[in-house]
Structure 1
Amino acid sequence: MNKNGKPRIIYPFGDKTTSIPMEDYQIDCQVFDSKNALENAVKEQWENKGLVVLVNTGMQHLSELQGWGEMIFRDFTTYEGGSAPRSKWSDKVFGIDDTPSNIDMCYHNEACYLPTFPRCFVIGSLACPREGGKTLASNNEVTSEAILATQVGQALKKKGMRYIRNMTDKYAGDQLVYKHWQDTFYTDSREEAEKYVKAQGWDYKWLPNGTLRT
């Protein structure tokens, strides 16, 4: 569910059963006598399995997610340049429920359109919905191997991929909105937005209605 109480549908691909037993990845935080012992268990599982599901954390606010993430890594990034609307729970913790309810949330890799993207990330919630609410995760190494075994995969490897983004102007009035360039780059200045775009090596163009196309 999004923050307006509307269903947020995330579509998996294929018609086969893709569920894995989540219990194989769970760590119950209540069974540890010390934070150090818990942290060691989290690190070990992350290194061995690449997925950690924490339960009974006692978390009271989503800003606390950063502390859990710091058990594994410290080099948190900002969300500058990201394409999805994001509210902020703290300096390094962002909401994922701000996408307009008419937009379907497809299964995806986070920020794959940026020159650098997360090697891992932490997600969490304070309450579980009565129905739905599934979080999809997959093994990217296995997925990549399967794609590269196809003609399409080899073509992607050889030719690469081009992303075209149209970021609307917050102050331009009635436009179909996903995310404005002002919110993408945390500035109302075209010059500052252009600095970021140029630093990434992107082609860009300002459209007559104020939209920034990259």
Structure 2
Amino acid sequence: MQDRRLWKPMEITPHRGESLVDRLAAEPGLEDLLVHHKALVFRGFAVTEQTLEPVLDSLLPNRLAYVHGNSPRTKVGDNVYTSTEYPPEFVISMHSELSYAHAWPSRLLFFCHTAAATGGGTPVVDAALWLESLDDEVREAFASGVRYTQNLHGGRGLGKSWQDTFETDQHDDVERFLSAAQAKWEWLRDGGLRVVQERPSTVRHPVSGDEVWFNQADQWHPATLGDTTAAALAKVLGPDERPQSVTFADGSPIPDEHVIQIRDRGLANAVDVDWRAGDLMLIDNVALGHGRQAFTGSRRVLVAMSD
């Protein structure tokens, strides 16, 4: 069995100046390549934002909207978004996209329009290795799953609005979505929305059968905000008022040291993909977690998702 710690994405480069669309048309077994390698980096194909759409159509023919997503993004095309708009000085820890939701994309495609002056790489981590790296005590504590709570404002407030989160301003659309998700929700007097969901902490990869770490408990927990930010937030908002929070599935608190370990070991086992303009990376969203390194200068990376 291959040592998971030696894993890295597969890099694909052009033959004799071919376009990426031509390469994809001629490449047999792309799905098998992705299952085996977990991430494919396409480099040197001179893709631009203007020539991106046919590449997206080839790699992600069924692009999904970022409905119920909690990361700040801007929609820039047909279900194409900025990858994140968190301030550049912050590292974004490892996570699988929408792992807190009832349904998630199986593939993510990142496209680099502008590489940062320094930093700004996208780290990716084998989610089975991430699970294996955790102490037995942590894995056992999370065995029953987690409970996520979102407080989404109605247009003004901290965090995202429910309108942006669900890409609609219709209550009925939101309620239908949340009913299908088997979530609990409550419309608040101030026009906001509270959503509560219980989800597993791990899942099995649908093809390999590997059990993988698949939750965002560390990102939703105040301990990973840093002492100063967490203390300031606690002064303004109670535990039930924060834009997002997390407990174990039974409602009991998750120890700070558990989420710090989860965050740190995910990052420690990650492989950085450093961007060049025109690069693309296709990842298996269940097999891998991903994040973002801090950076300086301008950085423009787009993302699209599919089932």
* TM-score tier (shorter): 0.7 to 0.9
Q: Distance in 1 between matches of 2:168 and 2:188?
A: 18
- Residue matched to 1:46: 34
- Residue matched to 1:130: 117
Match 1:142 to one of 129, 147, 171 = 129
Distance change >3 Å, CA 104–CA 141, structure 1 → 2: closer
Q: Unmatched 5+ residue regions in structure 2?
A: 196-307
Q: Distance in 2 between matches of 1:90 and 1:195?
A: 25
Q: Contact (CA 8 Å) 1:69, 1:121: kept in 2 or not? A: no
Q: Which amino acid aligns with 1:96?
A: S
- Residue matched to 1:156: 142
Match 2:80 to one of 68, 73, 93 = 93
- Residue matched to 1:35: 23
Q: Distance in 1 between matches of 2:181 and 2:34?
A: 31
What displacement does 1:31 show? 4.2
Which of the pair has the greater relative contact order for Cα pairs under 8 Å at 6+ separation?
A: 2
Q: Contact (CA 8 Å) 2:154, 2:162: kept in 1 or not? A: yes
Report the 3-state secondary structure (helix = DSSP H, G, I; strand = E; otherwise coil) of the residue aligned with 1:107.
strand
Distance change >3 Å, CA 118–CA 195, structure 1 → 2: same
Aligned length: 188
Tell me which protein shows more strand as a share of its residues: 2
Distance change >3 Å, CA 198–CA 62, structure 1 → 2: farther
Q: Contact (CA 8 Å) 1:65, 1:93: kept in 2 or not? A: no
- Residue matched to 2:223: none
Alignment pair present for 1:76 and 2:57? no
Q: Distance in 1 between matches of 2:86 and 2:184?
A: 26
- Residue matched to 2:44: 56
Q: Which amino acid aligns with 2:112?
A: S
What displacement does 1:75 show? 3.9
- Residue matched to 1:189: 170
What displacement does 1:208 show? 2.2
Identity %: 22
Q: Distance in 2 between matches of 1:63 and 1:211?
A: 40
Q: Unmatched 5+ residue regions in structure 1?
A: 1-18
What is the root-mean-square deviation in Å for CA atoms of aligned residues?
Answer: 3.0
